[in-house]
Structure 1
Amino acid sequence: MAVARVALVAGATGLVGREVIAALLAAENVPGTASLDGPPIHILHAAGRRAPAALARNVVVHAVDFSALPSLPPVDDVYIALGTTMAAAGGQNAFRAIDYSAVLATAQAARRAGATRCGVVSAMGADPQSRIFYSRIKGEMERDLQALGFSTLVIARPSVLAGNRQPLHQTPRRGESLSLALLQWLRPLIPANYRAVAARDVAHALVHAVRHGPSGVQVLSGRALQSG
């Protein structure tokens, strides 16, 4: 029987992070969503923002300031699904503070708490040398995570994420519904790496790769993130 591992999740109120929690609960073969027991799942949540709904007794929410993270309880695996858009952030500095600084701070805190395996949600086109600011920040984040010494680092690079944002109380992203509808219609003609991918599929692929994949750095994109 596999040894239960303690997980840390940052970004649990987002589209993929919510599904990471569900995938972790399912991975422990725990039925239902109320009064559940299992290895602890610690959630880092930005203080002052809407907290994630209670999912199980073993899910512990920590309200934190990502720019000054406290010492964390012992953890084995960390999943980071933090991210925003340029429009929501309001500028490049604010965007970098979330998609780079908060991600790296979480990973560093997790390493100090004993984490040896990490899964992170990045984006297609991530490249530290890119002239596109968004892709460059994602690439710098990936590069610097690799320097932290995780025995396993899984990087998910989805293209357009599909999922229901209404339960998350997120502001609809301009043009997203139209883009998703168009991408779905054109799906047979679009190369796998550019197809819209369900947030649930990204989360399940990420959790499975962290828990069962080989050591070293793995990059998941295209078909590796799609259920069918």
Structure 2
Amino acid sequence: MLHARDRQVPALSHPRLQLHAVDFAALPALPPVDDVYITLGTTIAAAGSQSAFRAVDYDAVLATARAARATGATRCGVVTAMGANAHSRIFYNRIKGEVERDLQALGFTTLVIARPSLMIGDRQALQQAIRPAESLSIQLFRWLNPIIPANYRARPGADIARALVRAVQTGPAGLRVLSGRALQAT
């Protein structure tokens, strides 16, 4: 059984999928899990402030990971971003780097971090607002994709998810960072 938790329940349905809307500031106990995949994220513009962004991209991610560890999860896959660095002067990259650093301290046997440059996909299906600047960037990335180096190419969210699951389930124990070429569809 797959349990998915989000701030809103997306309009998805599958007999082996249970969707739960939760308040990540008051995360309820999780059922026992073996693996946890964390794909939470927003933008500062969508969040409305740096503190609201941090509440999602740092606090909610760590709360989910801690809750999963408490129920027995030994493997974790998480999506952060290209440029994640806990010492960055860029706020977005610093928060992504801080969450990566703090996830490593939780003691997962396997921790796989996916660092895509730009994720593309159908945000409306997930009840997310259309972001005009992002839509323009995606069109530009699609047009330029053949000449952009592999590590910087936009990636469909489904490709990132497949690569993350494969790396968590079949890769060696320890820390592994997936970026660029490793996130391409195979």
TM range (shorter): over 0.9
Query: 1:61 is matched with which residue: 6, 9, 19?
Result: 19
Q: Deviations over 1:117-172 (max 9, x none)?
A: 00001000000000000000000000000000000001000011111222222211
Q: Deviations over 1:48-69 (max 9, x none)?
A: x3x1235222222333221122
Residue 96 of structure 1 aligns with which residue? 54
Query: 1:137 is matched with which residue: 78, 95, 106?
Result: 95
Unaligned runs of 5+ in 2: none
Whichever residue aligns with residue 4 of structure 2, its letter is: I
Partner Cα distance (1:54, 1:175) in 2: 27
- TM-score between the two structures when normalised by the length of structure 1: 0.78
- TM-aligned CA deviation for residue 198 of structure 1: 1.0
Specify whether residues 61 and 167 from structure 1 end up closer, same or farther in structure 2 by C-alpha distance, changes over 3 A only. closer
Query: 2:167 is matched with which residue: 185, 206, 209?
Result: 209
- TM-aligned CA deviation for residue 42 of structure 1: 1.1
Q: Look up the SS of the partner of 1:186 in the other structure.
A: helix
Q: Look up the SS of the partner of 2:128 in the other structure.
A: coil
Correspondence 1:151 to 2:109: yes
Which one has the bigger helix percentage?
Answer: 2
Does 164-173 or 190-199 show the bigger shift?
164-173
Residue 45 of structure 1 aligns with which residue? 6
Whichever residue aligns with residue 30 of structure 2, its letter is: L
Query: 1:117 is matched with which residue: 66, 75, 85?
Result: 75
Whichever residue aligns with residue 142 of structure 1, its letter is: E
Partner Cα distance (1:197, 1:205) in 2: 11
Whichever residue aligns with residue 89 of structure 1, its letter is: A
- TM-aligned CA deviation for residue 224 of structure 1: 0.3
- TM-aligned CA deviation for residue 84 of structure 1: 0.5
Query: 1:164 is matched with which residue: 100, 106, 122?
Result: 122
Residue 219 of structure 1 aligns with which residue? 177
- TM-aligned CA deviation for residue 188 of structure 1: 2.6
The answer to whether the Cα contact below 8 Å between 2:159 and 2:184 also exists between their aligned partners in 1 is yes
Residue 142 of structure 2 aligns with which residue? 184
Residue 80 of structure 1 aligns with which residue? 38
Whichever residue aligns with residue 184 of structure 1, its letter is: R
Structure 1 ranges of 4+ moved more than 6 A: none
Report the number of matched residues: 186
CA-based RMSD of the aligned residues comes to 1.3
Whichever residue aligns with residue 133 of structure 1, its letter is: F
